[in-house]
Amino acid sequence: MQTRPLPKRPDVHLTAIGFGGAQAGNLGRPRTDEDIAAAVGTAWDSGIRYVDTAPHYGLGLSERRLGPLLAELPREELVLSTKVGRLIVDSPETAGGSDLEDGGFAVPTDRRREWDLTRDGIRRSIEDSLERLGLDRIDIAYLHDPEERMDQAVAEAIPALVELREEGVLSAVGAGMNFSEHLARFARETDVDVLMCAGRYTLLEQPALTDLLPAATENQVGIVIAGVYNSGLLARPRPREGATYNYAPAPEELLRRVHAIADLCEQHGVTLPEAAVAFVSGHPAVVSTVVGMRSAQDVTDAVARERAEVPAGLWDDLRSAGLLAEDAPTP
């Protein structure tokens, strides 16, 4: 599979498709160990060499599940990222419940998330992740969803990550969230190497084109795209009843827009998810697209979509119909 280097860290190469570890944390519903193991094995066999996880995913479950599976693979070929900002701490007072309603993960609440963007908190988060993973190093660490704590994130948390990078503990550092304007601030004001943009640069909408992507290009920051399907709306050739956008029921206006995009995709002989994966790769700042994978079939689908040929005429027709930003670069 094709790889791209981080502009400021050329030794760090990310495959075009990355393995998203939220499903390994039981996002939305429980997954079996066997399903996750099959997904990881299929991803490796398909050429995927970038795996992303986070303490937030299942209150540490994703890291605990993925670590032993990754330990069986050649470590020098793997790029592994996790996230910092929320510590996972024991919480006997909340045991007996489920994190599904509040956190979105089908796991028991005998642990809880605790925000800590201090230097000590960031270093502890990395230590805790290494312990859960059972691995000797993490390649990339992202500050996770700090949109309500931006001043501290810029002044304290990112410098703490940079310090770990300079010490050789990490190879690259950055931040990840759903807000492109905040990510643009990191690109402009901090020494980050890579930023993960979730849901704000997709075939459906491109707000990052006006803030994040110009800032990233100017400051040589690599962009990893997450949420390429806008939490499900672009994941099938046509949205199903109850399709979600930002993990909530999709508004009728967006459903109509997606159906109009799907009409043009069908006219050009491609599926909506194939076009969604292809589109984001067209921006020169984008180095990888992380896709959530809960089974071997999910991996097979993602790889096939990345390899699908999308005719240039589709992008022209989408622009003519007002369904794609005029200045959006395309493959």
- pLDDT class of 242 with cuts at 50, 70, 90: confident
The answer to whether residues 20 and 290 touch, using CB atoms and an 8 Å cutoff, is yes
What integer pLDDT is reported at residue 227 of this predicted model? 96
Query: Model confidence over 281-326: pLDDT tens digits?
Result: 999 999 999 999 999 999 999 999 999 999 999 999 999 999 999 9
The answer to whether position 157 is within a domain reads yes
d(CA 290, CA 280): 11
| 193 domain-assigned | yes
Residue 17 pLDDT class (50, 70, 90 cuts): very high
Domain that holds residue 182: 3-250+273-310
Catalytic residue among 57, 201, 229, 245: 57
The CATH number that applies at residue 107 is 3.20.20.100
| Residue 168 zone, left/alpha/beta (φ > 0; ψ -120 to 50; rest) | left
In-domain check, residue 266: no
Q: Is the pLDDT score of 82 beyond 90?
A: yes
> How confident is residue 225, by pLDDT bands cut at 50, 70 and 90?
very high
Q: Do the domain assignments include residue 40?
A: yes
**Domain contains 109:** yes
Domain count, the chain: 1
pLDDT at 171: 98
Write down the pLDDT at residue 244.
87
Phi, psi dihedral angles at 327 (to 5 degrees): -100, 15
189 near 209, Cβ under 8 Å?
Answer: no
In a domain, 71, yes or no: yes
Asked if residue 161 belongs to a domain, the reply is yes
Give the tens place of pLDDT for each residue, 316-327.
999 999 999 999
- Which whole number is the average pLDDT over 233-245? 90
Residue 57 catalytic?
Answer: yes
Q: From residue 257, how far is each of 1, 204, 233, 268, 328 by CA, in Å?
A: 32, 8, 11, 17, 17
- Beta strand 3-6 with 9-15 is antiparallel
Report if residue 258 sits inside a domain: no
